[in-house]
Amino acid sequence: MLLKSRTGFTLIEVLVSLLIIGISLGAVFQTFSQSKRISWKSDEQVECCRIAHNILADSQLIASALSKGKRAGAVKGEEGWQYAISVMPLELETGHGDEFFKVPSMLNLDLCLIHNAGQREKAYNLSRWYRR
């Protein structure tokens, strides 16, 4: 009697290999998706930094905010972006409970940038000190 050698894969081996390939591809696609999301967030933050720099470099806008104590409006030339500036005397914590030290001739300028992107709204805040 002559024995034939059996070659090839069993159904179980094929299913296990397909399962391993599926799990590997799922992990790879999830990594690509997550990196794209991170890229979108960083692009928005870079855009916010650029807009904040342009607002703080606008001497007329800052002078108006410093004299009135606050200023708000839409960012010119930037669709979906709004700003709000508030100016208060600079007060620093002394480390003794609720006591604050008021710094003479210094102001604290708070800039809030708001980005309306479709159904979501994202706010970015920045504080800066100014000398009178």
Q: What is the pLDDT of residues 68-111, one digit of tens each?
A: 989 999 999 888 999 999 999 998 888 777 788 888 889 999 99
At residue 47's C-alpha, the angle toward residues 89 and 55, to 5°, is 35
Report domain extents, the chain.
39-131
Q: What is the pLDDT of residues 11-29, one digit of tens each?
A: 899 999 999 999 999 999 9
Distances, alpha carbon 41 to alpha carbons 30, 31, 96, 100, 117, in Å:
17, 16, 39, 36, 12
What integer pLDDT is reported at residue 95 of this predicted model? 79
Whether the per-residue pLDDT at 120 is higher than 90: the answer is no
What integer pLDDT is reported at residue 15 of this predicted model? 93
Mean pLDDT calculated for residue range 99-125: 89
Kindly state the percentage of the chain with pLDDT values over 90.
52
* Confidence band, pLDDT 50/70/90 cuts, at residue 4: low
